[in-house]
Amino acid sequence: MSMKLCEGSVCTCAAGGCPHEQDILPDNLLEDDRFEFACYSPIVDYAFVAQVLNKTSVGYFDKYTMSVRDVYRSNDGDGAGGAKVNTFLHRSSCRLQLREGTDYLLMGKNGNTKPGAGNAQYLLSDTTWIEAIPSQTTCGLWNYREHCQQVNRFIEDFSLSGCGL
């Protein structure tokens, strides 16, 4: 499905399927899934950890304002569009519901829809990895410990070595 995403008089094609959040329990993610996605299929252009600050609706899109906490890979060479707060959008008809105050690992292909025009906007689609990072409290629960160790290992390894692991 394709729609137009416009900012003033400048429009960009917003193509692709609906994004979905990775299901972390029960054991639906294998430890290598993140690395395979980031480095082999589809080979991501950006990888961030970002926290949802708020959500609004703009036309046919849900717009999330997010604080980018860490940049592991960026397609603009400047790190999250040169800003610490960026916009992430998806079509309102998709069922994605990101939660305010939650940190997410976001990885995707060339999602920047406003290169060089202020803060970047990233379009979330079916080629975006979206994974909630459990809080320290949640990671203390027995059934989340292994997942927390895996996501933390991936983040540490990817931040140090990228795809050169």
97-154 pLDDT, tens per residue? Answer: 999 999 999 999 876 666 445 667 888 999 899 999 999 999 999 988 988 999 999 9
Query: What are the structural domain ranges in the chain?
Result: 35-134
Nearest of 112, 105, 109, 102 to residue 72 by alpha carbon: 105
Model confidence, pTM: 0.86
- Alpha-carbon distance of 78 to 34, in angstroms, equals 23
- Class level of CATH domain 35-134: mainly beta
What is the predicted pLDDT for the residue at 81? 47
Beta strands in 74-123 (DSSP E): 85-91, 103-108, 121-123
Which conformational region is residue 16 in: left (phi greater than 0), alpha (psi within -120 to 50 degrees), or beta? left
39-81 pLDDT, tens per residue? Answer: 998 889 999 999 999 999 988 899 999 999 999 988 665 454 4
